[in-house]
Structure 1
Amino acid sequence: MPAARGVLSRLDATRRLLLRELSAFGAVGAVCFVLDLSLFSLLYTQAGVGAVLAKLVSTLVSTTVAFVGHRYVSFGRRARTGLRREYLLFWAVNGVTLLLGLAIVAFVRYPLGQESAWVLQAANLGSIAVGTVIRFLAYRSWVFPAAEGVPGPAAEGSPSRA
């Protein structure tokens, strides 16, 4: 029975780690979502910056803050594989999910011929949901991977690699 207890203990530790990472991922995402909207609004309505430039700046800032939050909070207990590598992969994953979101909205708008703001907003929300799942899984698997040879939950008490 000790082997069964060991398996159950590892499963429980894995579940707790996954819940902790999911919670932190959601919190960081929510903060960055508000930051993006607020910065865009501030730049566009108060600073007189054009809409496209305001969106570019707000996206760059909020995505960089998201990277820092995910690196040190959401996935802070994972191995460090190099700032440049992680940052480039982070941006690549975000670029892919952005293109996927654009493709979903464009598909609903053009081939399906939908012009309703409600339908397009539903497509937008659906693309955000799909992108969020993809980002979480990609960050966890590729951007901030678990230490090699050490299961994630067991590594909780050990320091992460620099």
Structure 2
Amino acid sequence: MAPTSVLDRARGAVGVLYREMIKFGVVGAVSFVVDVGLMNVLRHTVMEDKPTGAKVVSASVATAIAWIGNRAWTFRHRRNRPAHHEAGLFFLTNGIALLIGAGCIALSHYGLGLKSLAADNVANVVGIALGTLFRFWAYRQFVFRREPLVDTSPISDRH
């Protein structure tokens, strides 16, 4: 049964937003673990003196994981363009978010002179948080813009 009143449509829109936020959070949590974990492995090994470079590598790997999770799960009902267009917008959006994250680390490490691993991790988390806010907004506005399609699969995420 389709929503008929303004209140029903508003409830439906809030429900869609809520489900997308939860799924985005799960995909983001996995990507966060990959990003922070890989950055720290790189900072302890081959990129000990290059925190910004370590961030670029770790964020790139995390972005690839996020693309798969968000396209296949979070925003799978928002198809409005071919996959290669979505991928281009997705990676452009994540490139901007990566600049936000790397900028936070560069500002802390080089600008403020906070060169410890702990300071790099705090700057990394701040950058990830700011980048995450930007990404969620950009994914909904540009990458997966179309209104959600009706889920006709026998198994739905709606419980």
The 2-side partners of 1:98 and 1:22 are apart by 20
Q: Any idea what SS the aligned residue of 1:126 has?
A: helix
Q: CA shift at 1:101, angstroms?
A: 1.2
1:35 & 1:104 partners in 2: Cα distance? 18
Q: Please provide the CA RMSD for this pair.
A: 3.4
CA displacement, residues 28-55 of structure 1 (integer Å, 9 cap, x when unaligned) = 12233445567x59x98xxxx9569x98
Tell me, yes or no, if the aligned pair for 2:55 and 2:102 is still in contact at 8 Å: no
Matching of residue 7 in structure 1 with residue 1 in structure 2: no
Once the two structures are TM-superposed, the CA of residue 57 in structure 1 deviates from its matched residue by 7.3
**Counterpart position of 1:82:** 82
Q: Deviations over 1:127-150 (max 9, x none)?
A: 110100111111111111114xxx
- What percentage of aligned pairs have identical amino acids? 37
CA change 1:33–1:92 in 2 (3 A) is same
For residue 123 of structure 2, what is the amino acid of its counterpart? A
The structure showing larger relative contact order (alpha-carbon pairs under 8 Å, at least 6 residues apart) is 1
- Local SS of the residue matching 1:84: helix
The offset of 1:8, in angstroms, is: 1.3
| Shift, 1:66, TM fit | 1.8
Q: 1 or 2, which has the higher helix percentage?
A: 1
* 1:33-44 superposed matches below 5 A: 33-35=32-34, 40=38
- The CA distance in 2 between the partners of 1:143 and 1:79, in whole Å, is 9
Does 2:26 match 1:32? Answer: no
Q: By how many angstroms is 1:80 displaced?
A: 3.2
Give the structure 2 partner of residue 109 of structure 1: 109
Amino acid of the structure 2 residue aligned with 1:24: K
The answer as to 2:150 corresponding to 1:156 is yes
Equivalences, count: 143
List alignment gaps of at least 5 residues for structure 2: 154-159
Q: For each residue in 1:50-78, what CA deviation from the matched residue of structure 2 results, as whole angstroms up to 9, or x when unmatched?
A: 569x9887655543332122112101111
C-alpha separation in 1, matches of 2:28 and 2:74: 10
Alignment map for 1:48-63 (pairs within 5 Å): 60-63=60-63
| Bigger Rg, structure 1 or 2 | 1
Aligned to 1:66: 66
